[in-house]
Amino acid sequence: MHVPFLHRLPFVQARNIVLIALALGLVTTGNQIRMDLAQARLESSSAVRGILQMQQNAAAQAVWALDNVLAASVLEGLFYFTPTVEATITSDIGSVLAKKIRTPAQSKSLEWLANMAIKETEFATQLYLEGKTEPIGTLQVRIDSGTIAQTFFDRTLRSILSTIIPLIVLAIVIVLLLHYTITKPLFQLSSLLTEVDTENPVRSPLNIPSGHQHDELGLLVSTTNNLLYLFDQLLTKHATAEKELLAAEKKYRSIFNNSLGGIYQTSMEGRFISANPFMAEVLGYESTEQLMSEITDIASQIYVDKNRRDEMLRILIRDDYVRNFETQFYCRDGKILWGSQSARIVRDDQGKALYIEGSVSDITATKQAMADLARLEGQLMQAQKMEALGNLTGGVAHDFNNLLQIISGYVQLLLITKDEQNPDYKYLVEVRQAASRASDLIRRMLTFSRKVEVRMIPLNLNEVILEALHLLERTVPKMVTIRTVLASDLATIPADLTQIEQVIMNLANNAAQAMDDSGVLTIETENFPVHDKYIDPHIELDPGDYVLMKITDTGKGMDEATRQHIFEPFFTTKEPGKGTGLGLASVYGIVTSHSGKITCYSQANVGTTFKIFLPVTTAITSISKSARQPTALIGGDESLLLVDDEEMILSIASDILHKHGYRTRLARSGEEAIEVYKRDMAAIDLVIMDLGMAGMGGAKSLEQLLVINPRIKVIIASGYGSYDIINDPARYGAAAFLSKPYRLDMLVLTVRKILDQAKETVLLN
């Protein structure tokens, strides 16, 4: 690098020395000039006054004698004094006797300086005759200041030059000395420094210039070499650190870019500062650039509930971090996902919040799995409750139905003996209806706990609804309007007719009660195909074809807490005595036993909708309730064996059968029944047997009777409906099944039907 001469150290130092010396010299010279100037002024003034004094008498004689020639001679003498440029002799009356003027030889350019140096240039003296006191005239002289000052100027110039010239010589000498002793070695040192290998400084250390081993320049070179050594060490450390930094940056950049979790930095105001590719991908953006350009307000554009961001900010400002903060986000395509955030707030040295950095994990699948698990747990809990209640119900159903059979049987026998005008008739009817309701309660408990097998037949749900309407119109308050919207092309479903009727009646009656005797009850049906898995907040449906039945009311509705418990056994919101809490539980059990799903949607003070999804069958034939109408009672004279461990049930059955012409034999256990049948087999045409007896029991007894006579006709009567024989009596060798408590007329009809079938079989054979 070239350094201009005027900027080099020797010149600068020499200049400074000269300037200082010059300043000192000027001060000294100036003081001397001042004293010389004062002396010059004094000398010039004294010289002029002395000349005037010498010419005063001659001038006075010339004035007195009015001698112009003498006056001119006096003036001529004054002009021998070189500085004189003008002289005048004037009488006392003002007349000029003589006047002489001379032009000064000095340049006008220095006149101003001369005037400053010699200020007194005009002199005058009064002329007196000897012995007289009154002046007779005046002698005036004007001198040239330049002529007087010229001598002073010459002396001053010599004085200044005698000061400056040695200083200039001194400066040159100093410059040369400094150049060879400092500047030249420094240039050499600078040149050597430019040749230093910056990647390996210690490989080419600097040499100390000759003659400078022990002075400051030598110290500078040594210090520079030490610095080069330290610089080399720093370079080595820096290279190592840079290598490690690059490796770390590469590693963390790889983690940042390839992370399976979203990583971001956002401003406090809600704009992305940076984000990794997964953050953009999980939110549905093609790149981080697109995410950062399109999202200008995170709270309103990404958060489903922008108050959740405000809540997270409050936590961050308070605690500086937040962990596992769950919230919902909008994706670019409008979908919603669940995210779990962990973030911290970054502050400056003064504690001011700068930005937020954190990570987001997509927990949508986890949330869905938790919801599915909760739903499955709820279903499992419901199933366990129903199983527990079913086990409890099944345990007492047989004995309870036997008691109901006794009560109902005796009431029916009494009703046969009385006409409708009898005062006791209506009370007996009430008792019979109470027994029927009690039996229905047990049946419901067995149904929803799935302790009773369903009898599936192809049904058209529209037909079942229309038949149920006839009864609903009589039972539902007249202020409730019943409206139906039934699909004209509704598919056929496999279902138990009685149980589906029970579902419709139960839900419709509940809806009517929820409307406080006023409102609109709507029953709708439609075909509901499911092509992909159907997920509802409360149910799931596998792909397939379904029939959907909706029962909607405009009643008071219910809150979410109530809705979650409506299918639980014995849960009711009705007043004590107005509900058993088994209605909806029974409906749930029936729908489940039909491989269907039921769900409820309700809003307080708006209404409730039950949706029932039932799978479709390929069968095209449906059966309506008209196919089950009973025929007239016909008796006979055949001999029957009645088997039951309840004496009163035997008595009731025997009495009604006797009234219709039949003869009966009685057995109180399975063992006794086998003994009686072996003895009187030829005389016994039909056996009516209970299943749930002590000892051998009915099922084992039936097996033994079939061994004795494979063609025996047996009617099974039982108060417990969990036996497989109920749905397919013939498979187990029985001719029919009667569920206790049975109506006595159904007993007579069934006996006659089985006996007639036996006779037809005999005739055919």
Please give the pLDDT value at position 549: 96
Q: Kind of pairing, strands 519-530 and 480-485?
A: parallel
Query: Distance (Å, rounded) from C-alpha 734 to C-alpha 703?
Result: 10
Amino acid at 465: I
pLDDT at 355 over 90: yes
Average pLDDT of 670-680?
A: 94
Give me the sheet containing 639-643, strands edge to edge.
Answer: 663-667, 639-643, 686-690, 714-718, 736-739
- Residue 459 in 3-state DSSP? strand
pLDDT at 386 over 80: no
Q: Do domains 259-362 and 453-626 have the same CATH topology?
A: no
Query: Distance (Å, rounded) from C-alpha 259 to C-alpha 278?
Result: 7
pTM above 0.75, yes or no: no
Contact between residue 740 and residue 404 where contact means Cβ atoms under 8 Å apart = yes
DSSP state of 181: I
pLDDT at 630 over 50: no
83 pLDDT tier (thresholds 50, 70, 90): confident
Lowest mean pLDDT among 6-10, 309-313, 327-331, 370-374: 6-10
Contact between residue 727 and residue 698 where contact means Cβ atoms under 8 Å apart = no
pLDDT at 655 over 60: yes
514 CB contacts (<8 Å, ≥6 apart)?
A: 553, 555, 556, 557, 608
Token pair, residue 460, equals 């058209």
Token pair, residue 481, equals 């309007």
Query: Distance (Å, rounded) from C-alpha 481 to C-alpha 501?
Result: 20
Q: What percent of the chain stands above pLDDT 90?
A: 29
Residue 458, classified by CB atoms within 10 Å of its CB into exposed (0-12), middle (13-18) or buried (19+), is middle
Please give the pLDDT value at position 395: 62
pLDDT at 667 over 90: yes
| Residues forming beta bridges with residue 123, ordered by sequence position | 141
Average pLDDT of 342-370?
A: 91
**Per-residue model confidence as pLDDT tens digits over 459-514:** 999 999 998 887 788 778 888 889 999 999 999 999 888 789 889 988 988 888 88
64 CB contacts (<8 Å, ≥6 apart)?
A: 129, 136
Question: At the top level of CATH, which class does the domain 259-362 belong to?
Answer: alpha beta
Residue of 437, 533, 514, 525 whose CA lies nearest to 476: 514
Cα 114–chain centre separation: 95
pLDDT at 679 over 50: yes
Q: Which residue in this structure is represented by tokens 């699909």?
A: 487
Question: At the top level of CATH, which class does the domain 632-764 belong to?
Answer: alpha beta
Contact between residue 351 and residue 342 where contact means Cβ atoms under 8 Å apart = no
pLDDT at 658 over 70: yes
Please give the pLDDT value at position 637: 92
536 pLDDT tier (thresholds 50, 70, 90): low
**Per-residue model confidence as pLDDT tens digits over 281-336:** 889 999 999 999 999 999 999 999 989 999 999 999 999 999 999 999 999 999 99
| Mean pLDDT computed over every residue of the chain | 81
55 pLDDT tier (thresholds 50, 70, 90): confident
CA dihedral angle for residue 283, residue 286, residue 290, residue 294, rounded to 10 degrees: -40
**Per-residue model confidence as pLDDT tens digits over 440-459:** 667 666 665 555 555 678 89
Lowest mean pLDDT among 194-198, 471-475, 583-587: 194-198
**Per-residue model confidence as pLDDT tens digits over 408-447:** 888 888 888 888 888 888 888 888 888 877 776 676 666 6
Domains of the chain, residue spans: 5-168, 259-362, 453-626, 632-764
pLDDT at 666 over 90: yes
Average pLDDT of 535-542?
A: 73
Contact between residue 144 and residue 81 where contact means Cβ atoms under 8 Å apart = no
Token pair, residue 143, equals 């001198």
**Per-residue model confidence as pLDDT tens digits over 705-751:** 999 999 999 999 887 655 566 666 777 788 988 888 888 998 999 99
Where does 554-676 show beta strands of DSSP type E?
Answer: 597-603, 607-615, 639-643, 663-667
- Domain at 453-626: CATH architecture: 2-Layer Sandwich (3.30)
235 pLDDT tier (thresholds 50, 70, 90): confident
Query: Distance (Å, rounded) from C-alpha 653 to C-alpha 729?
Result: 21
Query: Distance (Å, rounded) from C-alpha 316 to C-alpha 329?
Result: 19
Please give the pLDDT value at position 391: 67
Please give the pLDDT value at position 669: 93
Please give the pLDDT value at position 254: 74
Please give the pLDDT value at position 435: 82
241 pLDDT tier (thresholds 50, 70, 90): confident
Average pLDDT of 589-597?
A: 88
Residue of 630, 510, 525, 612 whose CA lies nearest to 566: 510
